[in-house]
Chains A and B, each alone.
Chain A
């Protein structure tokens, strides 16, 4: 394999042509009624040209695996030669789509530690499955400087069965998303039983469609995406695989993890469950731009055990700092301002609807619409008060020797544990309200698989928040920071 120039599997032409064909079909559906013959001819011609271009592109693209680097070279009008040193590769993902399965191929996505293209792989290589596996092993050997593991022999760190996948699909979506889905469902039922206008069938179906689009479809996609979930660690490498229709496999060194998030939605908290996500450098993939999930929704005690087994580097004895009493006043002041604004807006809208008769509604529908803003305003004010109360109790800060943690989220909770050595920029902000009570809010910039991300804290004393950047600087000065382990 070394030094030899290899072409991708020809199915890559069909796979790329399929993507183009989807747009072509949409165009055809839009224009077919007016000029059917011209539309068919135009689409046929465009698909033909696209097929020729894609074929030439495939024929003139090669990949070469040298001793220290892989080189992807394209010799078309737009020439390209990309050299990726093995030492810079952060992860290799393997994706198998339906077309890949039909042709017995695999897509290898090679990612380097780049901040500019964090969500896009540096190279996508398509080969027959056995050749792709050999190449992946060859790359892994060069990346991790050890023999590749036999994946089938490895057991998962956590046992995730079909019920767990189902629970994760149903209850890991954000609470706001779930609520908005059920608002659409409620509105659809309301429209169905209302008799005004005579055109309720259409709008009821639209609301029902929105419910499916916002709640049902994402749940099904999550279930399909995370079916057959398996995660394990061999030495310092974490291996992750899942997927029912399209299978997804990736591996990355634990030193590439910048932060660990233990997350729970309101529904999952009621069940005593949470899940683990990781911010990993160089895990970009055009299709899977979300953070990798290291464990699906499981009982909280299981999650803590998984953290200890899988990423002990991100486990420490947390010395929890709760928000000071001044934060209660700052949050209350903020909530009062928000509530006053909502109350004024609700009163103004109710007055406008009550004094002008533009709705054209009568009976129960008119009563509902007239009182809708008052009811919604009252609900929002109540939500703001509850948010303020919970916000004070929920947010926490912990400062360890190597790690620190922010706990956030009134409705959907998130415990983010970060490594001082991965912190890129620290911001400590004092707004007019926070200043009055001697408090500040911290914001930490890190690199993740989604590009640069920022994690914010609650209200804490400036001295406590300043300890984050003081520790970052101390570790650089006293030699605790190891640049080889944190190279980006």
Chain B
């Protein structure tokens, strides 16, 4: 693994980036399991009603097998690599996110450019006490995913305070 992702005992890299909580892996797996269950149910229906589908049977079967294989990879390998290769840092004037399974992406968002900060929780994230912080700028949206709820809310509060103070300084 690349050195930039190495963390100390407190879960922080030498450059101050934080790691996610390990329960992220379970949350990701639960999401994939639900997706896999739906895919398998559709696969079963395809096999049961194969005669009625006529020429579509084989392409559909192939599609669902492909989806199942991808889901199995998502279930086993992806959560481990995702967790190992996800680091974030909310600094004084910028947000840095390092992430990626195959391609490693370093995203930088200057806090000055932020228009809106949102804390989002889907049902699976909610089950594990996780949330995403979505950051909207004029040029697009970026996010810090699978944060613990308290951490997500604290980041959102800090960012909102900073934005307000920047706007006040300009008045």
Contact = CB atoms under 8 A, between A and B. Distances in A.
Mutual binders A and B: yes
Interface of A: 115, 281, 423-432, 435, 445-447, 452-454, 469, 472-473, 476-477, 481, 483, 488
A127 to B, nearest CB: 31
A379 B134 CA distance: 45
B31 interface: no
Contacts of A477: 93
B102 A425 contact: no
B21 interface: no
A424 B137 contact: yes
B140 interface: yes
Contacts of B107: 425-427
B108 A426 contact: yes
Interface stretch (B45-53, B54-62, B109-117, B151-159): B109-117
Query: 7 nearest interchain CB pairs?
Result: A424-B139, A445-B139, A447-B138, A424-B137, A469-B108, A445-B140, A452-B140
B108 A432 contact: no
Nearest to B109: A425
A431 B102 contact: yes
Nearest to A465: B106
B105 interface: yes
Given A115-B115, A424-B138, A445-B137, A473 B103 contact: no
Contacts of A115: 115, 136-139
B106 A428 contact: yes
Contacts of B94: 469, 473
Contacts of A430: 100, 103-105
A428 B105 contact: yes
Given A423-B110, A430-B105, 14 more contacts: A424-B139, A425-B108, A425-B139, A426-B107, A428-B108, A429-B100, A429-B104, A431-B102, A432-B103, A435-B2, A445-B137, A445-B139, A452-B139, A473-B108
Contacts of B110: 423, 469, 472-473, 476
A476 to B, nearest CB: 6
Contacts of A431: 102-103
Question: Counting chain B CB atoms within 10 Å of each CB, which of A425, A426, A472, A488 scores highest?
Answer: A425
B142 interface: yes
Given A115-B115, A473-B93, A483-B170, A427 B105 contact: yes
Given A424-B113, A476-B112, A477-B93, A454 B140 contact: yes
A120 to B, nearest CB: 16
A446 B103 CA distance: 22
A408 B112 CA distance: 29
29 contacts: A115-B137, A423-B110, A423-B139, A424-B138, A424-B139, A424-B140, A425-B113, A425-B137, A425-B140, A426-B107, A427-B105, A428-B105, A429-B100, A429-B105, A430-B100, A431-B103, A435-B104, A445-B137, A446-B139, A447-B139, A452-B138, A454-B140, A472-B110, A473-B110, A476-B93, A476-B110, A483-B170, A488-B115, A488-B138
B138 A427 contact: no
A427 B106 contact: yes
A425 B105 contact: no
A425 B140 CA distance: 7
A134 B44 CA distance: 69
Nearest to B169: A483
